[in-house]
Each structure stands twice: as structure tokens, then as C-alpha cells.
Structure 1
Amino acid sequence: MLPWFTDKQFPLYLAPMAGVTDVVFRTICKELGADVMITEFVATEGIMQQDERTRKYTEFTDEQRPVGVQLFGADGARMGEAAKKIIDWKQPDFIDINFGCPVNKVVSKNGGSSLLKDCGTLASVASGVAKAVGHIVPVTAKIRIGWDEKSINAPDVCHILQEEGMQAISIHGRTRSQGYRGEANWQVIGECAESVSVPVIGNGDIASGADVKKRREQTAVSGVMIGRAAMQNPWIFREAKQYLETGETPPPVPIQERWQLITRHCDMAVNSNRYGNERQSIMAMRSRLMAYCKGFPGAKPLRQRLCTVASLMEIEDLAAEHLQSLRAEE
């Protein structure tokens, strides 16, 4: 059993999201109560070629532990070698295998959710990684419930993954063909959790503490994974823990506190050198800023201006201006 799963613990995972869950955002979510982190996925071949850009995706701090590095690929032996290299560099708490990504550029390389259609290759990938590094760190996997509505096979896939040495399985409750549309199917997630002995982490449509409590009480999952809701509201981890403890929903985070976190996130992104200079970093942050400001009073004109920001000073000025306009309306 992985140490972060106990009778008293119901871990809240931050879902790995390409372009979102970088080392900076993981730091913020950890401070706000996320229990377990997984890096953005990294390509096996990028690791094998020791590509510097790929290695950046594996970065994490000790404060973020327990943290796993997520790999994708379709060659179990190569992925096992890549996992060894990652462990030599970074010593993560676990390796996670991506069998869930729906993005075309991953699927076209026979990675991510494409392997849900090819359970033989999926088994060989899981086995290859587990045999290579499973004696050093746990190996886990993330899947979707199937390729499409006609081929929902998550319970069968979970049995295969358990047999091949996976120590935990995260399940996004949508098919690959759904993308992020429609509702997550928690009935299938629940069936999977009941049918295997390893912990199952449920993922999909978790947007509040009440959602976490509902899934904990109504399914056999051992934890939940929160993705898109955290992009807009990283406080969800803190809110969920408070709700689980007290049954009370905390009041909404004040706009001023939200702006403080937004400007801090931008400052951390610039200082991380992940995206280049200040201008490049702020431009890379624009989509994140859009998510943060969703639902703000006066959001539409605000979002139009956020499309053009290119410096920390512009963001700080915009925050001050927005807060001042809200005070004037009181």
C-alpha cells in the first residue's frame, strides 16, 4: 500500500495537465492543501535523448512530495530505461504511466489513451516499467474509462494493470472520444474501485468539497484527482479538506486574495526561467490568467486586457485598477 493511502487519509491529487501543472503551479496547490502531485507528462524518447526541454518537465521540489513523474510511450523496455534515468536524476516518489491522454499528437504515436484499444501493448508497457523500476519506487497508471462509448473497458484494463504490477490506478471518467465534454461516468469508476485491490483514484467533475465527499461516500475510491477546477480555483484543495472535516463550505475567496495569488504566480513563473524572459513568461501565463479571472465581476473587459499583457507591472497595475473599480461600486 502506498503510504499516502490510509484509513484516515483520503488523498487529494492534483491531476497532471500539460502546460498547467508545472513546478510553480504545483507549489501553489501544495500550499493550498493538495496531497499528491504528478508532473506534466514527459515523452520517453525525450528522456532517452536527454533533451533539456524534456528534463525541465520532470522538475519538482522536496516540498511537493509525494510527487510522481508521468511518462508516456508505447515501448515498455524503453520506458523502463527512461524511468531509471528519471529516478537517477530526480528520485521521485513514484513513476506514473499515462494511458489516458486524449490529445492527437500523443495518440498518433500510439501513446496515452490509444493503448486502451490495444491491451496487449498496454500490458507490456506496464510490465516493462514495473520490472525496470518497481523494486525502487512504486509504479502507478492513469487511464480513461475507454476509447469510446462502445468500448468502455476500464474494469478489464484495471485488472491487467494490477496483474502487471501497478500500485495504484487513476481513472478519468470519460472516454477518449468524449475529450472533456459531457459528464464523467462515476459508475464505471466505482465498478473499477470495487473490482481491484489496489487503490483507485477517481477523476472528473470534482469542483467542490461536496463533490469530494459525495464520491468518497458513494464509491469505493481511495482518493480523488482534481484537474480543471484547480486551474480556476486552486483553493479547492483547502475548501475540500475543510468540508470533509466540518461539513461546511467556506466563504468564497475574496477577490483581493485571488489577485494576490495571481500576481505571485506570475512573479514565480518569471523567476523560474521556465518560459524564458519576463515577456515570454507572462505571454505563456495568459491562458492561466484567463482561467483565474473566470467569474470575476467585470470579467469580459478584464479578459480582453489580459490577452495583451506582457509584463509583471501590467498585471500589478491591472489588479490595482480592478480592485479600485470594485471598491468604487460598493
Structure 2
Amino acid sequence: MASITTTRTDPSRLAFGSIAVDPPVVLAPMAGITTSAYRRVCRQYGAGLYVSEMITSRALVERTPLTMEMLKFHPDESPRSVQLYATDPAIVTEAVRILIDEDRADHIDLNMGCPVPKVTKKGGGAALPWRRELFRRIIRGAVEAAGGRVPVTVKMRKGIDAEHLTYLEAGTIAQEEGITAVALHGRTAAQMYGDHADWDAIAALVRELDVPVLGNGDIWEADDAIRMVEQTGCAGVVVGRGCLGRPYLFADLANAFAGSTERVRPSLSQVAHTMRQHAGWMADDLGEQRASRDFRKHVAWYLKGFRVGSDLRQRLGLIADLADLDRQLDLVLDQHGDQAYPEEILGLPRGRGTGLRKVSLPEGWLADRDSSAVPFGAEIGISGG
């Protein structure tokens, strides 16, 4: 990665409109992960901006029950940041108006980077910027609907694959249409979450634009965020998989951007306390049975690297309720003691990695870059990804 000698934007002064993002850290929207409960768990470790799960514009306009439930923010959550998925300029315009007129959001982010096949095969997510005129109309519709009342940002990837890159042109279009900031994940849709993120692409976008550019990809530790800012000149960072099971990473990030070398390394008992807190807040929002089921996927992330027997891991992955969670965590501590944080896992990737794959696209999608037609069936009616 080439080193950049000057930083164009002072990360200590990042703001989206009137919203100061200090430290310059954003929690990436992650389907099924960045619920209100998890956002609150992360927020208590440090400031920054914590974005909701993806809300589909169509589902918001149709006011589906799941979507309206996902749009609920706890009173402790401020500012309220919502990510919108959009493929139709008219529908995103109406969705933004609803969010603002009904005082449901203080910041709106547009999802133009989702690489999931069920999204790209309909022309949405990371596939959409290829249709540059449609991309422009969606950005314009959202920004005009916001009318300066809340900031609108966009998150995207480098492009569809190495032969179909879009990020420089899409970033320029977004800036021309009045977007507040652009976040770039330094991978293509074809890469999904494999290989290494291309920080040089982030640096190139920083040089191309005047609005703040945030970098995303391969931030596993706080020092990675500092390196990204130094090497690319980006105005801030977006953290996704690096915080899975590690909400305290936001404390490390706050310390790092403040110039402190202090880092949080919780013991097993402290991790167990956070797990109980997280599951309890989920139960408050979702009800105990549903929360217990949804929490199971977090168990392996929280316990990564700790010496915990496979039998107990399996039991924790099948918890029936909060009392069961308490029993299993008590057994973990009784049988394995209060272990120190496993330093050997620092810097290792979290979440599922993937190899290079062919991106699913609508038939003829690559043939006409200037078509502004809304792809058939791309307006997904279910929020969350």
C-alpha cells in the first residue's frame, strides 16, 4: 500500500452536517447484527456514529411491521442513523420524506455496496452504481427529499468486479448531487469479504473528491484505523466485522484517535457480563424467546480465543432463555476460570471469509450504463438484508 504524505481532511473534525462524528468512527450496518441492543452495547464504549440495519425503502413506504419495528431507537440512541436500501428514485424520495417528516432519523445513509447475490441479481446494492444515471437519480431524489434537514451519505464498494469498477465515477456523481460524505469499502462485490481490502482505492477516492471520504475494510484493531487514515488521507473509518463480539473495540478506537495507547482487553468474566447485558437488552426489545434465538450467533464471536470446552460452546449456541444463558456462562467460569484476554487473536479477521465469485446480475445489466430504468423486482420488501 502506498503511503500518503498529507491528510486532506482533519479526522478530529469530521461532521455530517451538524452531527459531529467524534471520534471519526462509524459502525457499519450489518444485517441481523446492528440492532438497537447491539448499537447500545457498542455506544457505551465510545462515541462515534452507530448505524441501523439496512431498511428497504419499499418496506418503509409500505410500513411493514418488521421494518417499523427495526426503526425503533432507544432513548439513549442519539444521533439516530438509518441506512436505506433503494433502487427506485420515487420510492427512496418518499422513504426519506417519511423518515424526516415523522422525526425518525437524524442521518440517512444510502446502501450502494451490498454484495449479497439476492440483492445484486436484481440490480441493487453494489451492482447499482454501474447504471450511473439511475444511481444519480436515486442520490438526487434522496438529497432533495432531505432538503438539508438531515445529512445524507452513501456507502459503496469499488465496483462489481475488477473489470467493472465504479467507485471514482459514482463518488463524483454523489458529490455533484449534494451528498454529505462517501464511505468506500475497498473490495468489489466479487470479493465479498475475501482477500485484502484495497486501501489504495480509498486513497484515490480521497484525492478525487472534496467531500469527506470514509474508509472501510480490514480494520481489526484500533491501530489499523490509524494506519488507514495515515495511508489514505480518509476523514474517518467504518468498522464492520472487526467489532463482532468485540463492542469494546470502540473504546480502543476512541483512545487511538485521542492519541492514547490504552486498549481494552476484557477478561472472560467481563466478556460474560457484556454477553448478559447484550442478551438482556435484546430481550427488552424483542421478547425473551426471540432474543435468545437471535443471540446465539453472537456466542462464538464473544468467546473467540478463550479456552472454553466444545460442550459448553454447543450449549451456549442452543440457549432457550436468559436463565439458560446465565447457567451456561456460570458453568464456563466455574470450569475454566476467569481467563485473561487471548492476545494471540488480536488482528485476526472475524466473521466469515469468502473467495472470489462471479457476481449475479440481471440479464443485460452490463450492456447499458446510461439506462435509468428501475430494475424489475429490485425493490426488496423485507428490511435487514
Normalised by the shorter chain, which TM-score bucket? Answer: over 0.9
Structure 1 window deviating more from structure 2 (41-50 vs 295-304): it is 295-304
Percent of aligned positions that are identical: 30
2:317 alignment counterpart: 307
Mapped contact 2:127–2:159 kept (Cα < 8 A): no
CA-to-partner distance for each residue in 1:187-228, whole Å, 9 max, x for gaps?
101111121111111111111111111112222111101111
1:81 to 70, 89, 94: 94
In 1, Cα distance between the equivalents of 2:332 and 2:194?
32
CA-to-partner distance for each residue in 1:32-86, whole Å, 9 max, x for gaps?
1141021111111111111121112222234322232111121112101111112
2:114 alignment counterpart: 101
1:261 to 271, 274, 285: 274
C-alpha displacement at 1:112, in angstroms?
A: 1.1
In 2, Cα distance between the equivalents of 1:223 and 1:174?
17
Superposed CA RMSD: 1.9
In 1, Cα distance between the equivalents of 2:147 and 2:193?
32
Structure 1 window deviating more from structure 2 (294-303 vs 262-271): it is 294-303
2:299 alignment counterpart: 289
In 1, Cα distance between the equivalents of 2:186 and 2:75?
31
Please give the secondary structure, in 2, of the residue aligned with 1:291: helix
Residue type of the alignment partner of 1:300:
S
1:162 alignment counterpart: 175
Mapped contact 1:59–1:90 kept (Cα < 8 A): no
Mapped contact 2:269–2:338 kept (Cα < 8 A): no
1:248 to 261, 285, 290: 261
2:227 alignment counterpart: 214
The normalised TM-score by structure 1 is 0.93
Structure 1 window deviating more from structure 2 (27-36 vs 131-140): it is 131-140
Question: Which fold has the larger relative contact order, with Cα–Cα distance below 8 Å and residues 6 or more apart in sequence?
Answer: 2
For the pair 1:172 / 2:185, whether they are aligned, the reply is yes
Structure 1 window deviating more from structure 2 (290-299 vs 140-149): it is 290-299
1:133 alignment counterpart: 146
2:210 to 182, 194, 197: 197
Residue type of the alignment partner of 1:178:
Q
Please give the secondary structure, in 2, of the residue aligned with 1:175: coil
The normalised TM-score by structure 2 is 0.80
1:235 to 248, 253, 257: 248
2:372 alignment counterpart: none
Count matched residues. Answer: 325
Give runs of ≥4 in structure 1 deviating > 4 Å.
none
Residue type of the alignment partner of 1:70:
Q
1:271 alignment counterpart: 284
Mapped contact 1:77–1:129 kept (Cα < 8 A): no
For the pair 1:316 / 2:326, whether they are aligned, the reply is yes
C-alpha displacement at 1:243, in angstroms?
A: 2.8
2:72 alignment counterpart: 59
C-alpha displacement at 1:4, in angstroms?
A: 4.4
CA-to-partner distance for each residue in 1:286-308, whole Å, 9 max, x for gaps?
11122211212125333322222
Mapped contact 2:113–2:156 kept (Cα < 8 A): yes
C-alpha displacement at 1:149, in angstroms?
A: 1.3
Structure 1 window deviating more from structure 2 (58-67 vs 173-182): it is 58-67
C-alpha displacement at 1:270, in angstroms?
A: 1.0
CA-to-partner distance for each residue in 1:114-171, whole Å, 9 max, x for gaps?
2022111111110111111133211110100111111222111100110111111111
Residue type of the alignment partner of 1:305:
R
C-alpha displacement at 1:177, in angstroms?
A: 0.8
For the pair 1:147 / 2:160, whether they are aligned, the reply is yes
C-alpha displacement at 1:233, in angstroms?
A: 0.8
Residue type of the alignment partner of 1:200:
V
In 1, Cα distance between the equivalents of 2:263 and 2:154?
33
1:26 to 24, 39, 51: 39
Identify the structure with the greater helix proportion: 1
In 1, Cα distance between the equivalents of 2:297 and 2:267?
21
Structure 2 alignment gaps of length 5 or more: 1-14, 341-385
Residue type of the alignment partner of 1:199:
P
For the pair 1:115 / 2:128, whether they are aligned, the reply is yes
Please give the secondary structure, in 1, of the residue aligned with 2:186: strand
In 2, Cα distance between the equivalents of 1:120 and 1:287?
39
Structure 1 window deviating more from structure 2 (107-116 vs 33-42): it is 107-116
1:13 alignment counterpart: 26
